[in-house]
Amino acid sequence: MIGRGAAVWARTAGTGPQRVLPDGCTDLIWTEAGPDGELLVAGPDTRARLAPGPPGTRAVGLRFAPGQGPAVLGVPAHELRDQLVPLAALWPGAEVRRLAERIVDAQRTAEAQRTAGRQAAQGRLLEDVALSRLRTAEPPDPVLAAIVAGVSRGTGVAGIAAAVGLGERQLHRRSLAAFGYGAKTLGRVLRLNRALDLARTGVPYAAVAATAGYADQAHLAREVRTLTGVPLGRLLQGSGG
């Protein structure tokens, strides 16, 4: 792993588009869509988006925790907000081609050996390149962890700014660069994910709302619909359309 909060994931597209929920994260993705595959970057989303792809298309990605992506990708997070862009738009073309070739080689090796580890090997390659870039990157902004902790506790922007010794405008600028949006929006996104984690375990919606920090169940329902585009019940059923 490249650090706390970074994780490799793998997905095979089903029938119909998949709903990707906002989570404050940035992803480096290898997708097998198209004749040669492609390396993509998914920026931090403010709303759910539908990920296209023919059924059976496989993808593997490296998801960076909130604030971690810019150090690897080399661009402020707000430049990638609500976007899915080719990695070649951010990194030198030769570097991207070499990484793509290594990923394809790992895929072919796994297929030739008839092993099931192709996506694990591809994920390790994404981790390796991220680690390499982190070694030469600037140290992380020391206030980022405090911002995430503050919004996760439900602390307001003024309180977080005072706690980290910044003005509210300074806090907003640094949040945009690190997370893609301001601290208030980051708090809404992280609260949504806490609520969904609870709801998926069968916790009643009223208890979810109280535990996750919503004013009431109606507030929870409004936020889920606003940020995901569908009601909570439909979202938990896994509907993608």
pLDDT in tens, 40-73: 999 999 999 988 777 888 899 999 999 999 999 9
Which pTM was predicted? Answer: 0.89
How many residues are there in the chain? 241
Contact by Cβ (8 Å): 138, 105: no
DSSP state letters, 24-72: S-EEEEEE--SSS-EEEEE---SS-EEEP--TT-EEEEEEEPTTTHHHH
Query: From CA 117, how far away is CA 84, in angstroms rounded?
Result: 26
Residue 161, CB-side half-sphere exposure with 13 Å CA sphere: 16
Give the 3-state secondary structure of residue 50. strand
- Per-residue pLDDT tens digits for 69-101: 999 999 999 999 999 999 999 999 999 999 999
To the nearest 10 degrees (0 to 180), the angle between helices 205-212 and 183-200 is: 140
Token digits of residue 156: 């307001």
